[in-house]
Amino acid sequence: MIPAPFDYAAPNTLAEAFALLEQHGDDAKILAGGHSLIPMMKLRFASPAFLVDINNIPGLSYIREEDGYLRIGAMAREADLDHSELIRSRYPIFTDASKLIADPQVRNMGTIGGNIAHGDAANDHPAVMLAMRAEVVISSAEGQRTVPIDEFFYGFYMTAVQQNEILTEIRIPIPPAGTGNAYHKLERKVGDYATAGVAVQITVDGKGFCTYAGIGLTNVNPTPMRAARSEEALLGQKMTEEAIAEAARLAAEDCNPSDDLRGDEEYKRAMVGVLTRRMIHKALERARR
Amino acid sequence: MKNPSEEQSSMQEKKGVSRRAFLRGAGLTTAGTVALSAGLLSFKLEDAKAPPAILGPGEAEVRFVVNGQARTIWVEPRTTLAEALREHLSLTGAKVVCDRGSCSACTVWVDGKPVNSCITLAVDVSGREVTTIEGLAQGDELHPVQEAFIEHDASMCGFCTPGMVMSCAALLKRNPNPGLEDVKLATSGNLCRCGTYPKVFEATLAAAKKMKK
Ligand SMILES: Cc1cc2nc3c(=O)[nH]c(=O)nc-3n(C[C@H](O)[C@H](O)[C@H](O)COP(=O)(O)OP(=O)(O)OC[C@H]3O[C@@H](n4cnc5c(N)ncnc54)[C@H](O)[C@@H]3O)c2cc1C
Ligand code: FES
Ligand code: FES
């Protein structure tokens, strides 16, 4: 399988990249890790006439806390997340997710920006971002704008990133004390996309009442999905077994999985329920630490 | 004559899926998005004085270091690293099996890290250092992982073996004291239809011990 021919440039600055995107319009696509894009080009699901490789642009792969946010540069690789001490010690949900994304080879190339910008509900980071209520920083020659994650995914492979823009940063509000988070997905084998995946972030106050609930679902809806009713069911509640079971039930009810080789609808709904319950428990456990 | 990319896109348009609409989300406006802050941005369009070279669609020069030697090849930008190594440099150790990133038979190191060469573009590794299975031995002396694979009979048909060895050798480079779980994780993307996994794990742990001596 060989992709259709294309022109290629690897700019050294964002400004150069913007100029190329401007110049080539709809014909251009950004190349990050290439591990979603190249396979799609081989299958001719995409045939861009021009690739703008952003790998040579320095300064886009940081992972740091600043101004109340965890800020992750779009070009941070899964392996960077895996190896980051900050992530390991303070954001275990990312370690949960990055361990489950493909295999070590793919994780050495795949970027967090590409994972989100690809706009694929089967990718794992989007649900994590929903659970943490991330903001996405999108830049262009005109400036930069910040888009809440809930307004980022438009549809199948469609996101808020416009043709002349580059996703440059993901910003996550640093969660307060009493917060825990966790992600898990059911997969048939290592490297498989999720049969179903659930990301949870919970904050509880001193009395055990829920003051924040974020629940994101992977691959059980045409777009990455927030389990909004589950979150509502937890907010302000004592985190009892009943409250958790209700949240899990609502997530299973509200998702929209389709039958495929990974399982039928009923099975996937059931798995969303199970995973939601388990991830809430795991997040609570971590919140107590 | 149409060039293949035009032909491709007109084919897709006929099927009603234009490539533009498909991936880009072109024409969508950014409903409900906020905070345009031009002032915040340090980069300006005028900064782009000398535009980067545009390569392709024909053959372009790619210079990189392969197994310690500087190499220059001429390839189309669409050429994968696997193809470049196999077809242009006659390094056929890395195997192309699934050709879509799923099996890791094509594993080589880029700047010391294992990657799937079948879904990495050759132009993308321009200026970087690539190590293939052919570059692992020092002259006639096999890498300890290669030796251990032989001693422990960790290869059957052998098709997955170069990729396996590259994954295991990369692990030992990073972690000289791996446990079984570490080896399993390092090879988790390497598929072996013959089922050599237990031997691969054994061999890698043995190689680790040997390398420490
Ligand atoms: C075998 C295999 C298994 C996989 N399994 C999983 C899995 O289990 N879970 C999972 O989440 N992912 C999985 N992936 C996908 C992998 O994580 C991809 O690397 C990731 O989805 C895309 O990141 P990338 O950097 O490779 O992006 P690319 O492939 O380079 O780009 C993807 C898309 O996003 C656009 N883009 C990239 N970066 C930017 C940017 N900064 N701004 C604007 N647009 C941008 C590109 O133009 C393209 O349309 C798998 C991939 C493979 C090959
Ligand atoms: S041939 Fe590259 S991963 Fe299978
Ligand atoms: S030895 Fe045959 S595929 Fe692994």
Q: Which residue has the higher pLDDT, B66 or B28?
A: B66
Residue A34 in contact with ligand 1 by CB distance below 6 A: yes
Contact B37 A143 (CB under 8 A): yes
Q: What is the CA(B156)–ligand 3 centre distance, in A?
A: 5
Q: Please name the helix (run of DSSP H) or strand (run of DSSP E) that holds residue A14, with its range, or none.
A: helix A14-24
Q: Please name the helix (run of DSSP H) or strand (run of DSSP E) that holds residue A149, with its range, or none.
A: none
Q: Which of chain A's residues have a Cβ under 8 Å away from the Cβ of B78? A: 2-6, 41
In residues, how long is chain B? 213
Ligand 3, atom nearest to B157 Cα? 2
Alpha helical stretches, state H, B111-196: 144-151, 161-174, 180-186
Q: What share of chain A is helix, strand, coil (3-state, %, to 5)?
A: 40, 25, 35
* Contact assessment for residue B110 and residue B82, using Cβ atoms and an 8 Å cutoff: no
Residue A137 in contact with ligand 1 by CB distance below 6 A: no
Of B9, B32, B43, the CB nearest to A47: B9
Residue B190 in contact with ligand 3 by CB distance below 6 A: no
What are the structure tokens assigned to B194, written together?
A: 């013959």
Of A6, A53, A162, the CB nearest to B5: A6
Contact B119 A162 (CB under 8 A): no
Q: Is B48 on the interface with A (CB under 8 A)?
A: yes
Q: Is B19 on the interface with A (CB under 8 A)?
A: yes
C-alpha distances in Å from residue A154, one per residue of A36, A123, A231, A251, B34: 18, 15, 22, 21, 16
* Contact assessment for residue A14 and residue A168, using Cβ atoms and an 8 Å cutoff: yes
pLDDT tens-digit map of B162-194? 999 999 999 999 999 999 999 999 999 999 999
Residue with tokens 């032989």: B150
> What is the CA angle A50-A51-A53, rounded to 5?
155
Q: Which ligand is nearest to the CA of B164?
A: 3
Q: B56 to chain A, minimum CA–CA distance in Å?
A: 5
* Contact assessment for residue B200 and residue B149, using Cβ atoms and an 8 Å cutoff: yes
- What's the pLDDT score for residue B9? 38
Q: Which domains does chain A have, with CATH numbers?
A: 7-52 (3.30.43.10), 63-173 (3.30.465.10), 180-288 (3.30.390.50)
Q: Which residue has the higher pLDDT, B1 or A200?
A: A200
Residue B104 in contact with ligand 2 by CB distance below 6 A: yes
pLDDT tens-digit map of B127-163? 999 999 999 999 999 999 999 999 999 999 999 999 9
Average pLDDT, chain B: 83
Ligand 1, atom nearest to A60 Cα? 41
pLDDT tens track of chain A, all 289 residues? 899 999 999 999 999 999 999 999 999 999 999 999 999 999 999 999 999 999 999 999 999 999 999 999 999 999 999 999 999 999 999 999 988 999 999 999 999 999 999 999 999 999 999 999 999 999 999 999 999 999 999 998 999 999 999 999 999 999 999 999 999 999 998 889 999 999 999 999 999 999 999 999 999 999 999 999 999 999 999 999 999 999 999 999 999 999 999 999 999 999 999 999 999 999 999 999 8
Q: Which of chain B's residues have a Cβ under 8 Å away from the Cβ of A10? A: 52, 123-124, 126
Contact A18 B25 (CB under 8 A): no
Alpha helical stretches, state H, A185-240: 228-234
Contact B100 A144 (CB under 8 A): no
pLDDT tens-digit map of B54-80? 999 999 999 999 999 999 999 999 999
Contact A47 B48 (CB under 8 A): no
> In 3D, which of A75, A59, A57 has the Cα closest to residue A12?
A57
Q: How far apart are CA A263 and CA A266, in angstroms?
A: 8
Of A8, A12, A44, the CB nearest to B77: A8
Count CB atoms within 10 A of the CB of residue A214: 28
Q: Which of chain B's residues have a Cβ under 8 Å away from the Cβ of A5? A: 3-5, 56-57, 76-78
Q: How far apart are CA B77 and CA A143, in angstroms?
A: 31
C-alpha distances in Å from residue A262, one per residue of A97, A120, A126, B174: 19, 16, 20, 35
Ligand 2, atom nearest to B98 Cα? 4
Q: Which residue has the higher pLDDT, A15 or B35?
A: A15
Q: Which domains does chain B have, with CATH numbers?
A: 57-135 (3.10.20.30), 136-213 (1.10.150.120)
Query: Which chain B residue lies closest to A9 (C-alpha atoms)?
Result: B54
State mean pLDDT over B106-132: 97
3-state secondary structure of B210: helix
Ligand 1, residues B19, B20, B23, B123: which to mutate, most atoms within 8 A of Cβ?
B23
Q: How far apart are CA A3 and CA A37, in angstroms?
A: 10
Q: Which of chain B's residues have a Cβ under 8 Å away from the Cβ of A35? A: 101, 116, 119
- What's the pLDDT score for residue B50? 60
Residue B153 in contact with ligand 3 by CB distance below 6 A: no
